[in-house]
Chain A
Amino acid sequence: ELKVEQNPLFLSMQEGKNYTIYCNYSTTSDRLYWYRQDPGKSLESLFVLLSNGAVKQEGRLMASLDTKARLSTLHITAAVHDLSATYFCAVDFGNEKLTFGTGTRLTIIP
């Protein structure tokens, strides 16, 4: 079965701290996407990772892909309030669709 698991599902973190969201998937893929969703809003594309060892950074967010471990991480550095959102990873297993993870609801508290 093609599965994508994220953890944690919920994350409350203090401003200024660092943390990592994990995305594990069940079978071979070298194409993975990260999206952000604000409450009541649409999904916004954050990162596209297309090879083993790919690393992308935007502001306080950095995403990486390890295709051998079937793992992607989204690292948050020195969190600020406006990073509060739900983050999804999505994997292309080559079956003409994306399989989304369960999402990680991130809340940054002062």
Chain B
Amino acid sequence: DTAVSQTPKYLVTQMGNDKSIKCEQNLGHDTMYWYKQDSKKFLKIMFSYNNKELIINETVPNRFSPKSPDKAHLNLHINSLELGDSAVYFCASSQDLRGAFYNEQFFGPGTRLTVL
């Protein structure tokens, strides 16, 4: 049973295209996140949602738009892709961030995005 799943696993596309990455969790968590991991393995948070409400938007370009149709899903849409968007994008989830004492996060398998 996959706890946090993402699709697709790999995404290769041309500059200027628009693409989406989907994420689903079956852990019953209320909070979901998107992270970007660059080529140096540095992990940076992009967005978080708590029960469909946007909590964190970490100075990410407007070309990135997250959408949470329900608390088990958090999708990421990217417009006008640029070379610098090439990275691995991880989705993660945790218990209700605002109610839980701790914030252990569980990560999806990642989506490797390559922009040519």
Contacts and interface: CB of A to CB of B under 8 A. Distances in A.
A12 B33 CA distance: 32
Classify chain B's interface size.
Answer: 20 to 34
Given A48-B102, A96-B56, A98-B103, A42 B45 contact: no
Contact of A42 (B55, B56, B108): B108
Contacts of B42: 100, 102-103
B98 A96 contact: yes
B64 interface: no
Interface string B27-52: 00000010000000111110010000
Nearest to B109: A42
Interface string A91-109: 0100011101011010000
B43 A92 contact: no
Nearest to A39: B41
A83 to B, nearest CB: 17
A98 B104 CA distance: 9
A86 B103 CA distance: 21
Interface string A24-66: 0000000101010100011111001010000000000000000
Contact of B106 (A45, A102, A105): A45
Interface string A12-32: 000000000000000000010
